[in-house]
Structure 1
């Protein structure tokens, strides 16, 4: 069973990601045969836990609660679809606070005994798995910004997630902080 820390999109973001799938298939019909992720499978892994859930998860939970307590909600703009070696992904525009959230989740995992990430993560939501055969998806002509790109969403909480039949379950989650309200000049 896979265990990871993730952003699980809210319904609005899931609607946009689902619409993005339809627009990619419309723009490149050959993508219809890809192994598309189901709506309940869409997420952004912030930190995979290679060792699974620690025997004593208390420090992991406390570390994630501390991260959430000091991290403001993160407004993201998903602005592109990319085909990587074996996946089709939706990627957000670079965001320093998102990078910080990834780094903080890695630090907590390592402090809890998990191995460090082998390479810097690339924030993304996996949309589909590509065929394994070399050249199986040549010349897809994926548009740089199919409708509804770009779309805006918000990382408002992080969750501990694990695989479950047909998707993932999130037994624990931590809300990020609302940005402070502007003060009125008095």
Structure 2
């Protein structure tokens, strides 16, 4: 039975903590242009339709680097979208995986509209501030109630108290709406959002 390395265990725990479904030690047989009958890839992420390889011994020797480079060439020739991680990435795993995944999705042959959307929304819900949308909605409802209360009172002029309430409401609503939108766009990147909505095309040159 295969025993995962410490690096692979660390990556697996990262996937678990971030709600990313994965399969370990995926066997792919008879790959085009490969001298081996099959290749075992460390992880496969079915929701994202992406493979993840951890090259833990990449810097150990020239022979290890050559083996890894050969495997990378095989994956590329077979158009298998793969995020490649090294020991240097483990210290900044969240940043490395996120940035490499987005770079991978920048290629038209690997792009998955629903895959990147699901990943971005999941990342936003877990790491962002989705509750700010709730706060914005609450303040919107409060504003509607204040407006109705003023209009139903048949007041010819608004009192200072009413004006203060309206101003505070508008400030709070603006703050929470702006913060919610900016935070959302931070995780669901504008580039991929525009492509998803059909407002921007992928770079065919890639």
TM range (shorter): under 0.3
| TM-score, structure 2 normalization | 0.22
- Higher Cα Rg: structure 1 or 2? 2
| TM-score, structure 1 normalization | 0.24
Which is bigger in relative contact order (C-alpha 8 A, separation at least 6)? 1
Q: Which has the higher helix share?
A: 2
Q: Which has the higher strand share?
A: 1
